[in-house]
Structure 1
Amino acid sequence: MSDSPEHPWRPTPVPVDWLWNTLEVGGPAERVEAFRLAAAGSGVVPWVLDLAALEEEFLLPMAGPQDGVRAISLSGAKVLARRLRDAAAANHQAALARMGTDKSCSFDLHRLLPVPPGILALGPEEEESKRWLRTHWGVTRPLRHVQVLPSTLDGRKRKMGQLRVGFWSADWSPWAAIARLRRAWPELSFELRPHYPGSQQQLDEEKPTHAPEQKGRKRQAGAGAG
């Protein structure tokens, strides 16, 4: 159906179901430490953003707001959309700048299983990009709110090591990434536990951080995940 003043087209945000997961990595202490160092990164995926398309997506809902939402002038909407685009670009550049030194994300999938440059150049919203992520990571967005969890390893096992992390994943757990990591690090064990909402497992174990907000494309403009 074509657009009309009565029925203008509006972008529809894609809902996301965020799932809390815990991952335990175990094995010889020196190999666990090597994995810990390899996995630590900024959590940033350095996508090439289509800023013109992003600006348009900021503009459209302001130019044709939903019923009952006060409209602003077209010129005002254009100014605001450009400012939002510029803010997204600045945030993206700041995220890219810290990639070389920031190790605050203890389980950074892009560090372990890097997105190829050809896929990065397409941007995060292209179907080919999503297919690559589904195939290699098992999820189509970076992990969110990654945090180190207390070790459960018996302290008497001094030759053994353990890394425990918790994180939110979008819509599914990163099983594909875990399968690839098991092949790449055969000396280590990887035990991934999804905590489905309301399950007894979620109630009995560590309480997760709050889930990320439901976000559509515009909020995905940043290079990485918090």
Structure 2
Amino acid sequence: MTENLRFPWADLPPVRADETPDDIAEQPQPSPSRGRRGRRPLSAWRDTTQAGQWQWWHLLVHGPAQAVDDFAVAARGPGLVPWPFDGERVEEDMFALAIGDGASEHTRCGLSIEGCRILARQFRDAAETRHARNLMRTDRPCVLDFHALVPVPPVILRLGATHPDAVSWLLRHWGTAEAPRGVRRLMGRKAGRRLPGGHRPVVYGFFTPRAEAPEPLVAALRARWPDMTFVLSRQDMT
């Protein structure tokens, strides 16, 4: 059961040592939702903790210098999707994990049912505090916030992160069912060709689950900024 529990502060995927970041921001994962808003079992959360399941991307953006600056401003945000946080669900999941078959040996070693409840409550309190802090943080904004560029509608947000309709919307409009991880602006990267006078490039790097490509989001950027060029490319992790 432990492999199915998705912690609200899931670890970031591996970072490429050869990339020099200009700005780095954590991408906290959405928390499970409850009941009619998309309550799902623990197994509904995908296991993306293995390095082989991540894809590293570069997004090259170039165009008139002022347009590039305007895009950079529009692209900044907190770097997370403001899904509703269900503390009760988190507490239930942690209690089930602590007292279930996967933790029975530890329970026999001395953790009582009441102890499991206390542990679950402490975990919920920590998760709620972390969630609130992430929503309010402005000290290290994400330089390429998918939700800032292509916002998730309120009606979809209310469904919760694991609701099938919410996942379908994200895949259709973003190409990935999660906010990107390890987002950074890569300094010193070139466009790969000579640009017209007054034009300049900027390159972003980020991770998504390997099976998902954020091409729909890039298509939306091209439609919104027709005078600019957006080139999305997969990068080898080896």
TM range (shorter): 0.7 to 0.9
SS of the equivalent of 2:102 reads coil
Q: Shift of the alpha carbon at 1:14?
A: 2.6
Letter in 1 for 2:118: V
Aligned to 2:214: 174
Which stretches in structure 1 are left out of the alignment for 5+ residues?
1-9, 199-226
Q: Among 151, 159, 169, which residue is 1:132 paired with? A: 169
Once residues 164 and 87 of structure 2 are traced to their aligned partners in structure 1, the CA distance between those partners, rounded to angstroms, is 18
Distance in 1, matches of 2:79 and 2:183, equals: 9
Partner residue in 2 for 1:41:
77
1:27 aligns with 2:59: no
Residue type at the aligned position of 2:152 = V
Alignment of 1:186 onto 2:219: no
What SS is found at the alignment partner of 2:106? Answer: coil
Using a 3 Å threshold, how does the CA distance of structure 1 residues 30 and 67 change in structure 2: closer, same or farther?
A: closer
1:68–1:79 CA distance, 2 compared to 1 (3 A):
closer
Root mean square deviation, CA, Å: 2.2
Extract unaligned runs of 5+ from structure 2.
1-40
How far 1:68 sits from its partner (Å)?
Answer: 7.6
The one-letter amino acid of 2:220's match is R
User: Residue 187 of structure 1 aligns to which amino acid in structure 2?
Assistant: D
Q: Deviations over 1:30-88 (max 9, x none)?
A: 11111011101120211111221121111111111427842232111111111111111
Q: Which amino acid aligns with 1:121?
A: R
Aligned with 2:120 (options 72, 76, 81): 81
CA distance in 2, matches of 1:38, 1:11: 35
Given that 1:33 and 1:161 are in contact with CA atoms closer than 8 Å, whether structure 2 keeps it comes out as no
Quote the offset at 1:157 in angstroms.
Answer: 5.2
